[in-house]
């Protein structure tokens, strides 16, 4: 028998795939025909292809990619092309894969929406490849930054608890979210400080944004990102709050760690004097009636943007106050104290400007400088009409309210619902992706993408009943029944992959039922 196999090999007979010595996961698609790859790229929008010089060269990568394929099942596709196989050489040449250099045995190419996206150039590790496939256009993981080699990167609550238990040296832990701009600004300083204090103090980082870390966020009062906590011998002592720090600031503080000092209360703006009128819930209406042109700044004492605008606003008020021909005045309202006014004018961000002409509110453009304030008050012009709200736009997203929420969902087999607030920046960022997802499935009557504005009075009780505690929150419903909270990528790719997985599951169940019949 052995001689027979030897004869077959000697005369160049190609052995079938099932005789290959390389074990390949059923989740990895082996392709050799250009037409098959073209068809796959046309039907899958997130594909990572391993091109190898030979089976032997691919072996270690295939073991890793098998685990990756399991982790991204329903969100991404892994393929393998053996360029050493006679049948596949044409495909590799067509896809412009060059494995001729002696040191180049494999290539990883990523394709997005049917087209080449990029050559994979990040760390070839399970965590890095999975993160890439879940968000191909997102930033690399923090630990992939060569400068972050001295930061201890924690992935799980178990590893975090183990670190606290075993670490004898002082520990500075940054709880962060990958999308957080403040985190991104401080990370280079944090990792530089980690290198400077290496061997004496441990600096660590942990992405606690996923819902699985709610216990840690609650325990260490993580209410925003980053939250940096200082530990000694596993015991939390106090937070580090100087988020504008340089590496030198962090190292200097670690020489003598002290809890945050209580801040001296600031003098309320209303008590400082000046030419800005400070209005309250009680006198606001009467004031705007008595003054024909009033620009009002709603502010909060803690708001950094308000503090930056305040001297510009005050200087403009002084100029207008001395202008005999101008009847315009500038006024301010502390929205944290005058809650009735804040609620009445739907103030949800600071600073917010409102303009009143003869007692009637009118639209006002974005103004931030002394010059712009004065120009506007001297010649108020009607700005272009405000952009339509998401609900007012013509899209295929279903906008629901408490009255029709249940009845509408019961009519749809699969509904992904986005609970949001119009003022929420993260919601604004994701709206185009969610809208595009709704458009992608508009022909399927069983599938819907719906939205609920939790700020509306009619929806506040509904959002509370659905346990919505942050914006945006995504829930998946099956014929009106809540099945799970969507925790994956907030991108069109993430949403569509999730819904396609649901639809593919329906098809598999239908095929199984037909087989049984």
Q: What is the pLDDT along the chain (517 residues), one digit of tens a residue?
A: 444 434 333 333 333 333 344 556 788 999 988 888 888 888 888 999 999 988 888 888 999 999 999 888 888 899 999 998 888 888 888 888 888 776 678 899 999 888 888 888 888 888 889 888 988 877 788 888 888 999 999 999 999 999 999 999 999 999 998 878 788 889 999 999 999 999 999 999 999 988 889 899 989 988 888 999 999 999 999 999 887 778 999 999 999 999 887 766 677 898 888 899 999 999 999 999 999 999 999 998 877 788 889 999 999 999 988 765 566 899 999 988 998 898 888 876 788 999 999 989 988 888 889 999 998 898 887 655 667 889 888 899 999 998 789 999 999 999 999 999 888 888 998 999 999 999 989 888 899 999 999 988 888 889 988 888 888 999 999 999 998 899 888 998 889 988 988 877 765 555 555 555 4
Among 79, 92, 229, 306, the active-site one is 306
Cβ-contact 342, 298 below 8 angstroms:
yes
What CA–CA distance (Å, rounded) separates 257 from 370? 42
Beta-ladder partners of 298? 333, 352
Kindly list the structural domains of the chain, giving each domain's residue range(s) and its CATH number in brackets, ordered by start: 29-134 (3.40.30.10), 142-255 (3.40.30.10), 272-378 (3.40.30.10), 398-513 (3.40.30.10)
> Going along 234-337, which residue ranges are E strands?
235-240, 277-278, 293-299, 328-334
> Helices in 379-416 by DSSP H: which ranges?
405-410
Containing 514, the helix (H) or strand (E) segment is: helix 492-516
Helix (H, G, I), strand (E, B) or coil at 307: helix
Q: Would you call 180 a catalytic residue per the annotation?
A: yes
Q: Would you call 449 a catalytic residue per the annotation?
A: no
Kindly provide the b/e burial profile for residues 287-302, where b requires at least 16 CB atoms within 10 angstroms of the residue's own CB: bbeebebbbbbbbbbe
According to DSSP, the β-strands at 77-82 and 28-30 are: parallel
Q: Would you call 183 a catalytic residue per the annotation?
A: yes
Q: Is the whole-model pTM more than 0.85? A: no
Among 79, 83, 183, 427, the active-site one is 183
- What are the CB-based long-range contacts (under 8 Å, 24+) for 231-236? 231/164, 231/167, 231/170, 231/171, 231/172, 231/173, 232/170, 232/171, 233/167, 233/168, 234/164, 234/165, 234/167
Give the DSSP letter string of 323-387: -TT--EEEEEEETTT-HHHHHHTT--SSSEEEEEETTEEE------SHHHHHHHHHS--PPPPPP
């Amino acid at each position: 028998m052995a001689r027979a196999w030897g004869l077959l090999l000697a005369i160049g007979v190609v052995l079938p795939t099932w005789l290959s010595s390389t074990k390949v996961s059923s989740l990895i698609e082996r392709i050799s025909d250009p037409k098959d790859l073209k068809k796959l790229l046309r039907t899958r929008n997130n594909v990572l292809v391993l091109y190898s010089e030979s089976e032997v060269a691919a072996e270690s990568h295939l073991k890793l990619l098998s685990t990756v394929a399991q982790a991204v099942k329903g969100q991404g596709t892994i393929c393998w092309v053996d360029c050493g196989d006679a049948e596949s050489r044409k495909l590799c040449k067509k896809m412009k894969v060059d494995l001729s250099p002696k040191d180049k045995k494999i290539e990883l190419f990523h394709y997005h929406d049917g087209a080449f996206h990029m050559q994979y150039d990040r760390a070839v590790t399970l965590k890095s490849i999975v993160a890439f496939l879940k968000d191909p256009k997102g930033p690399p993981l923090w630990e992939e930054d060569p400068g972050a080699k001295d930061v201890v990167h924690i992935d799980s609550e178990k590893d975090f608890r183990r670190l606290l238990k075993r670490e004898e040296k002082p520990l500075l832990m940054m709880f962060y979210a990958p999308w957080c701009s403040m985190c991104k600004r401080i990370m280079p300083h944090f990792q530089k400080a980690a290198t400077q204090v290496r061997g004496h103090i441990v600096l660590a980082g942990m992405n606690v944004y996923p819902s699985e870390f709610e216990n840690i966020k609650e325990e260490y009062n993580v209410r925003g990102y980053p939250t940096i906590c200082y530990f000694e011998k596993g015991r939390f002592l106090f937070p580090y709050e100087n988020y504008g720090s340089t590496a030198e600031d962090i190292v200097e503080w670690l020489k003598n760690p002290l809890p945050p000092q209580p801040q001296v209360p600031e003098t309320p703006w209303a008590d400082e004097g000046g030419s800005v009128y400070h209005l309250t819930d009680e006198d606001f209406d009467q004031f705007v009636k008595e003054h024909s042109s009033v620009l009002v700044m709603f502010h909060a004492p803690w708001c950094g943007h308000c503090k930056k605008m305040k001297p510009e606003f005050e200087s403009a008020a002084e100029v207008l106050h001395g202008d005999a021909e101008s009847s315009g005045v500038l006024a301010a309202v502390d929205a944290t104290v005058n809650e009735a006014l804040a609620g009445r004018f739907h103030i949800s961000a600071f600073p917010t400007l409102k303009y009143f002409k003869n007692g009637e509110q009118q639209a006002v453009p974005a103004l931030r400088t002394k010059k712009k304030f004065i120009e506007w008050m001297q010649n108020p012009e009607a700005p272009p009409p405000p952009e339509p709200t998401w609900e007012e736009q013509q899209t295929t997203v279903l906008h629901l309210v408490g009255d029709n929420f249940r009845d509408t969902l019961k009519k749809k087999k699969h509904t992904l619902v986005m609970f949001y607030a119009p003022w929420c920046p993260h919601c604004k960022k994701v709206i185009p992706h969610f809208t595009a997802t709704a458009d992608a499935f508009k022909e399927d009557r069983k599938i819907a993408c719906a939205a609920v504005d939790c700020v509306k009075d009619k929806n506040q009780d509904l959002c509370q009943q659905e346990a919505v505690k942050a914006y945006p929150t995504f829930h998946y419903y099956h014929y009106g029944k809540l099945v799970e909270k969507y925790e994956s990528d907030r991108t069109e790719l993430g949403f569509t992959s999730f819904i396609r997985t649901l639809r593919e599951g329906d098809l598999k169940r239908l095929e199984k039922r037909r087989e049984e019949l």
